Structure 1
């Protein structure tokens, strides 16, 4: 059994600490540059001309609050050790992407008006792309440092005799979710608007937004499921996202899953306390129950073979 932990240190550092630092820096910059900023700065543009103005303090407070509420609100779940590891990772990347966007935009708006009249200020569109790219990169770094702190309990009995049994031919590896062709089509559908926006804006910055978002969205539709003599695990974004050891498996079964009807959509889903699913297709799914109380469902064409092998291994345990 692992020790119960409430806070993940890496999650607290990246998910709570970085948004707080970004918000604090947004408040500090106008004070540092007070003598060089105009009394009222441009904060809204119509085309290339500014048409909305505010005093620097109000602008910085607004940006700081949005960073905390939106960026920090998303990434804060990364600090909650009992929550599902994959969910914490995705929310951390999403939250820090938003935080990077907002802080970079705030800083560049202020820098662009140092020692210059607000009426001539230009909206630094490149900062939007740069901020998203930087935030997502830091988010992925933080996500790689998160750990699964859920309580692991050992199963005390064999799986129910009614559950399937099968030959133990390991490892059983399956790439689940969208295929290569479908992934390429989806990527093209995501990137096509970005290319059009780049052409209209005559700048690269839209790609810096679309590319990280595309990677994040498409990664929710592609997973690698591995069943071996240690248990079952799911890899995603080059990291082990779900890991259930053989000693904690109470039983494994097969279910027919319909993403929308049963789980409310595709991808990573939660349904009630302790019930998680990675559902990408309509069809068979491996359903694993562990002694700690969690039930995990993952759609896979080899679900029957996986369940049979896991239950046979658990019998030997």
Structure 2
């Protein structure tokens, strides 16, 4: 059954209101500083000098439009309560990173041209790109932690099928899924640190580290999961937060099958294949496949698949005695 709630209040605040406030704040700040700014300010720089100019207010509205369309457009997904929680969190962090970068660059562009007679002689402090990205990502993580899963929960009415595996003495099972510590470090080097150092070398500044490293961390975090199965049900943890969870009352049964991520789900990581069919698929091999009373199905590839299925079915039996 679909969620009865359409809007996540925290998602609306962080994903919709905050980008709009950031955009309008840039316009208001420009209006406030306009008497101290040149008639035309520099808005674009080459590697050596400014080569693009516009009036302060037209520039302000351009920045506002970019903030709302690109940053706000991504972040607004966080307000959609029925959407997958992890997707909403990811889009919020990405969107607010853009909002933070664009807003910071706009403020710095204005600040360096206050009381300046010749704007063509100014330079854009490139550190603002990195500082803004880090600031926006930080706010995005705070907002992501505030989002909630408003999925409507439906209790199963029957015990799991008798042919499904059962644990004789069910106990909690936890497993790390996806990249390990060493693999994550290598991936971060390849996607974040190495490209950043190359751009640092070219630009002569440190700011690329503050852009590439957060992006690399975000990508790596999306490929690391912790799966916990116990008497409460099954939970998938990502970025230190619960991305998916199904209570033991909701679970109709859990079975084991062999899954190939690219053949069965078209990719690697947290995937969605058709309506209500979710997969945390990070390897070819055994997977626990959990079906629920609301019509959702969750597939998790793990070496502990047999143990997880047995524990879930055994606890579901006990709950319905």
Asked if structure 1 preserves the Cα contact closer than 8 Å seen for 2:133 and 2:210, the reply is yes
1:147 — aligned with what?
148
Q: Name which of structure 1's ranges 17-26 and 55-64 shifts more when overlaid on structure 2.
A: 55-64
Normalized against structure 1, the TM-score is what?
0.94
Residue 48 of structure 1: CA displacement?
Answer: 2.4
Residue 315 of structure 1: CA displacement?
Answer: 2.0
Residue 8 of structure 1: CA displacement?
Answer: 1.3
1:294 aligns with 2:289: no
Q: Secondary structure at the match of 2:256?
A: strand
Counterpart-to-counterpart distance in 2, 1:46 and 1:167: 69
1:120 — aligned with what?
121
1:100 aligns with 2:89: no
Q: Secondary structure at the match of 1:6?
A: coil
1:66 — aligned with what?
66
Task: Go from structure 1 to structure 2 and tell me whether the alpha carbon gap of 1:141 and 1:255 turns closer, same or farther (over 3 Å shift).
Answer: same
1:194 — aligned with what?
196
Give runs of aligned pairs for residues 161-200 of structure 1, distance below 5 A.
161-190=162-191, 191-200=193-202
Asked if structure 2 preserves the Cα contact closer than 8 Å seen for 1:2 and 1:152, the reply is no
Counterpart-to-counterpart distance in 1, 2:287 and 2:110: 53
Counterpart-to-counterpart distance in 1, 2:253 and 2:174: 19
Task: Go from structure 1 to structure 2 and tell me whether the alpha carbon gap of 1:283 and 1:198 turns closer, same or farther (over 3 Å shift).
Answer: same
Unaligned runs of 5+ in 2: none
Normalized against structure 2, the TM-score is what?
0.93
Residue 2 of structure 1: CA displacement?
Answer: 12
Residue 3 of structure 1: CA displacement?
Answer: 8.3
Q: Secondary structure at the match of 2:36?
A: coil
Selected match of 2:223 from 221, 224, 248 = 221
Aligned residue-pair number: 317
Counterpart-to-counterpart distance in 1, 2:149 and 2:58: 41
Counterpart-to-counterpart distance in 1, 2:284 and 2:86: 22
Q: Secondary structure at the match of 1:160?
A: coil
CA root-mean-square deviation: 1.8
